[in-house]
Amino acid sequence: MTESTRERPVLVLNAGSSSLKYQLVVPETGEVRARGLIERIGESGSDVPDHSAALQTMAERLRDEGVDLDELSLRAVGHRVVHGGPDFSEPVVIDDAVLDRIRELSALAPLHNPAAAIGIEAARKRFDVPHVAVFDTAFFSSLPPEASTYAVPRDLAEKHQIRRYGFHGTSHQYVAHATADLLGRPVEELRQVVLHLGNGCSASAVRGGRAVDTSMGLTPLEGLVMGTRSGDVDPGLHAYLGREAGLSLEEIDTLLNKRSGVLGLSGVNDFRELEHRLAAGDPDAQLAFDVVAHRLKHYVGAYVAILGGIDALVFTAGVGENSISVRAAVTEGLEALGITVDRARNAARSTTARVISPAGASVAVAVVPTNEELAIARQTADLVG
């Protein structure tokens, strides 16, 4: 690889239905040349009518910042795609057939895949370089059948591609490797439980760098309690709400995805705001916090059992990286599993990866910032050479 190739950045795009997140990053060094977010795409009153226009807006903003995309000799574009379905277990160079397949997988991710496909289509027209899709589900394609299979009739599951796919995979994979680096141990030796706690939350059990279980399933609704999502409920709740509350399936879906979780319990979905209310003695905030922590503990215990032990418990994403109280509550009382946290280390503010368990503890408890854009840029560069 020539020196100039090494410096050529990858453009990482994350297209939502009305938004486009972008980052220009040099995979080898992690240097971020530029980043930004364009919102309200296609909404009334917005001057960004569609994703092609959003890419134009992005190029103009970058030029204002002194970055000329046409002169830059972009190496490739890496696209974050939420659902890879049963097909994609690794990043893939995008051609027409891949794009069609991403579109077809919209049934499994109706909110996400159509937007990603539109973003890819616009970007392929704009940038004549290799485009790579990096899937949020890919890391979990290694789940063993006993972890990925729902106990529903097999013919139905096969017909409708019903299984546990998992999400946030790019983050879990990146963090599992970054934790091994932090601990100075080969990832192959480690049994890790990774807690990705952002607006969406998921837990994974990782053995030797490969995922063996995860808390999100067919959709990103299963598992942990999240900002607005319920996570696990009795599946019987759906029928009960239909009968007793007269809600339609769509209303129930919206209720559990958008109006539940921390928001449903406390009235706020942002975790910082929850902590302010907690400090002010709000009992609803206290209950929400306790439910979040209880569910987290439930999954930590489950995954220690699945892994047959644990070497590292890792916190990442907005809440995991920043909330001292969540980390304290989740780890409290887990001494029997070897999990302890040093109070001062946990309370120390830092933006870098760090160990917060006491020196010499048998289980490392760590806070490891995630970086999905860098992970996507690296996987993209690896694939296109």
If binding is defined by CB under 6 A, does position 270 make contact with ligand ADP? yes
Place of tokens 């980390």: 327
Beta strand 191-197 pairing with 312-316: parallel
In angstroms, give the least distance from the CB of 18 to ligand ADP.
15
Residue among 380, 311, 384 nearest 11 (CA): 380
Build a one-symbol-per-residue string for 217-256: x at contacts with ligand ADP by CB under 6 A, - elsewhere: ----------x-----------------------------
Smallest distance, ligand ADP to C-beta of residue 248, A: 28
Q: Quote the least distance from Cβ 319 to ligand ADP, whole Å.
A: 4
Structure tokens at 187: 């990832």
Site string for ligand ADP, 178-217 (x = CB under 6 A): --------------------xxx-----------------
- The reply to whether 375 sits near ligand ADP by the rule CB under 6 A is no
| Closest to 377 in 3D by CA, of 72, 89, 37, 13 | 13
d(CA 300, CA 331): 9
Smallest distance, ligand ADP to C-beta of residue 199, A: 4
276 binds ligand ADP (CB under 6 A): no
Residue among 95, 136, 253, 284 flagged as catalytic: 136
Which one among 36, 264, 318, 338 touches ligand ADP, defined by CB under 6 A? Answer: 318
Cα(163)–Cα(215) distance, integer angstroms: 12
96 is catalytic: no
Which range binds ligand ADP by CB under 6 A, 45-53, 61-69, 235-243, 265-273? 265-273
Instruction: Work out the end-to-end distance of the chain between its first and last CA atoms, rounded to an integer number of angstroms.
Output: 9
Q: For ligand ADP, how many residues bind (rule: CB under 6 A)?
A: 13
Is residue 222 a contact partner of residue 256, using CB atoms and an 8 Å limit? no
61 exposed, middle or buried (CB, 10 Å; 0-12, 13-18, 19+)? middle
Judged by CB under 6 A, the residue of 319, 356, 363, 377 near ligand ADP is 319
Secondary structure letter of residue 330 according to DSSP: H
In 3D, which of 123, 118, 105, 121 has the Cα closest to residue 55? 123
Burial 69-92 (b: 16+ CB within 10 A, else e): beeeebbbbbbbbbbbbebbeebb
Tell me the C-alpha distance between 317 and 294, whole Å: 19
* Residue among 23, 22, 29, 24 nearest 6 (CA): 29
Among the candidate windows 49-57, 110-118, 120-128, 318-326, which touches ligand ADP by CB under 6 A?
Answer: 318-326
Q: Determine the residue with CB nearest ligand ADP.
A: 318
Q: Which is nearer to ligand ADP, 371 or 379 (CB)?
A: 371
Q: Does 322 bind ligand ADP (CB under 6 A)?
A: yes
Closest CB to ligand ADP among 125 and 343?
343
Q: Where on the chain is the footprint of ligand ADP (CB under 6 A)?
A: 198-200, 227, 270-272, 275, 317-319, 322-323
Task: Give me the active site residues, please.
Answer: 136
